[in-house]
Amino acid sequence: MTLLDGKKTSEDIKNEITAQVSAMKSRGEKVPHLAAVIVGNDGASLTYVGSKVKACERVGFESTMVRLPSTTSETELLKKIKELNQDDNIDGFIVQLPLPDQIDTQKVLMAIDPTKDVDGFHPENFGKMALDMTTFIPATPFGILELLERYNVETKGKHTVVIGRSHIVGRPMSILMGRKGFPGNSTVTLTHSYTKNIAQITTQADIIITALGVPNYLKAEMVKDGAVVIDVGITRVADENNEKGYVITGDVDFENVSKKVSHITPVPGGVGPMTIAMLLKNTLLAREQRRNQ
């Protein structure tokens, strides 16, 4: 069994980006600048945005964190997005989700300039991705592709089963795994909460990508020998034996599933670190595109 080590791979990617940024600096070019907008005080979101800012420092990017109170109106947030769209110093920016109830998330995502949408959530970028055009791929699916590529996991002609149809992971993953090229060229089944006999489908899969958010959902009897398992799930499960009072658990019953498979991602340390690395990669791409304009 090969562990698809997202921690190590993400460090490799950051080292590669650091070298590219150093080369940009030595040529006297502007370095990439990523901004992150966060509304409110959600603990998990603050931690996540904080780690993105740290990652920017690590590779030599400039970064800006825009913190707005939880009482921010939709109009105020849209005004801030317009400012960021028009700021030539900023190459890419993200709006951290979830947003407070008074704000329409779809409206906010639509307002972001597609050329600065390094999260890859704007319909224009999603459409380009679906049509195999060069664009920003959402960071988590992009990270999964990168893991499959760097570990040379064969995807051509394989049966990939995606569990979960979110716009952030499941749906883009189902499109990307079916595209021409590597990783891709696989036959994709997209499953969700209304899928009947899901275990019957997963036992036929060569590759399973699960993004449900249900701890230990995928059991050993649902997986065939030698399959590849990518676990995107990340849930805090209460555990009084742990000093933090919880453990981070994926969608996969790792202990038992890992005994049957050829490749598997751990949680934590699998897909999570890759997401931030690919956000940096998208920001570098945004900088290069702006330079070439």
**Three-class HEC string of 156-199:** CCCEEEEECCCCCCHHHHHHHHHCCCCCCCCEEEEECCCCCCHH
From CA 94, how far away is CA 116, in angstroms rounded?
8
Beta carbons within 8 Å of 114's beta carbon, 6+ residues apart: 122, 124, 125
165 marked ligand binding residue: yes
Structure confidence by residue, pLDDT tens digits, 234-275: 998 999 999 999 999 999 999 999 999 999 999 999 999 999
166 marked ligand binding residue: yes
State the catalytic residues. 52, 96, 119
Burial of 47 (0-12, 13-18, 19+ CB in 10 A): exposed
Torsions phi, psi for 258 (to 5 deg)? -60, -20
Residue 284 has pLDDT above 90, yes or no: yes
| Domains of the chain in sequence order | 28-112 (3.40.50.10860), 139-272 (3.40.50.720)
User: What global pTM score does this model have?
Assistant: 0.95
137 marked ligand binding residue: no
Q: Tell me the three state secondary structure of residue 30.
A: coil
170 marked ligand binding residue: no
Burial of 248 (0-12, 13-18, 19+ CB in 10 A): middle
Cα distance between the two ends of the chain: 46
Task: Tell me the two tokens of residue 103.
Answer: 């704000």
Mean per-residue pLDDT, 160-181:
97
Note the pLDDT of residue 262: 98
Structure confidence by residue, pLDDT tens digits, 183-230: 999 999 999 999 999 999 999 999 999 999 999 999 999 999 999 999
Structure confidence by residue, pLDDT tens digits, 227-245: 999 999 999 899 999 999 9
For residue 173, what pLDDT band results from cuts at 50, 70 and 90? very high
